[in-house]
Amino acid sequence: MNRTDTNFNTQTGNGPAAKTQDPVNQAREFGREVKGQATELAKSASDAVKAQTASLTESAKDVASEAGEKIRTTLQEQKTAGADYVGNVANIIRRTAYEFDADIPQAGHYIRKAASQIDNVAEAMRNRDMSEIVGNVQQFARKQPTAFFGAAVLVGFAAVRFLKSGSGASNVSSQAASNMGGQRARM
């Protein structure tokens, strides 16, 4: 083989130099392919993670929205029940005021005024936001601590008075029922 043959073989890729370059080129090509595939895989994985994150975020928003709605519904129900309870307390205080009319008419008048204010609170509870109501009560307590304390004492006094009169009425009715049962037994 002469020199021209060797050069020809090197240029055509059949010689020894072509064989050493061929694996290097193959390795480079393989590296480029692997890099391209890794880039595509990373991009698709990134896209999949973004899609899952978006889906999870949306699901979390839905759950939070549902929970918030349930909390709002429950608070509204509790607010209505609280307003009804406060309205009932106002009625109890009003009934108690009538008991004072015979002995201390002026006290009965003030107790009725307090009952009217408590009715206003019940109405406000029905129609206003709870945070606004709490803020108003706190503001009133800060500005008029004596009146706030007095109202609390009156409410407590009226509640005790009502409970005493309610238990006395039930004792009377149970005694009357037992007396009626005893009279029927004698007949």
| HEC readout, 133-165 | HHHHHHHHHHHCHHHHHHHHHHHHHHHHHHHHH
pLDDT of residue 167: 62
Of 37-51, 95-109, 142-156, 169-183, the one with minimum mean pLDDT is 169-183
Please check whether residue 117 is in contact with residue 152, taking contact to mean a CB–CB distance below 8 angstroms: no
Number of domains in the chain: 1
Distance between the two ends of the chain, CA-based, in angstroms?
147
pLDDT of residue 180: 47
Q: What is the per-residue pLDDT across 103-155, written as a single tens digit (0 to 9) for each? A: 888 888 888 888 888 888 888 878 887 777 778 778 888 888 888 888 788 77
Q: Which residue has the tokens 């009934």?
A: 95
Pick the residue with more confidence: 61 or 169?
Answer: 61
Amino acid making up residue 75: L
Q: Residue 34 belongs to what domain range?
A: 5-186
pLDDT of residue 111: 84
Pair of tokens at residue 131: 């945070």
pLDDT band at 6 (very low <50, low <70, confident <90, very high): very low
Q: What's the mean pLDDT when you consider all of the chain?
A: 75
Pick the residue with more confidence: 62 or 179?
Answer: 62
Does residue 157 have a pLDDT over 60? yes
pLDDT of residue 187: 45
pLDDT of residue 20: 53
pLDDT band at 70 (very low <50, low <70, confident <90, very high): confident
Please check whether residue 154 is in contact with residue 97, taking contact to mean a CB–CB distance below 8 angstroms: no
Does residue 63 have a pLDDT over 60? yes
Q: What angle do CA 88, 94, 96 make, to 5 degrees?
A: 105
Does residue 10 have a pLDDT over 80? no
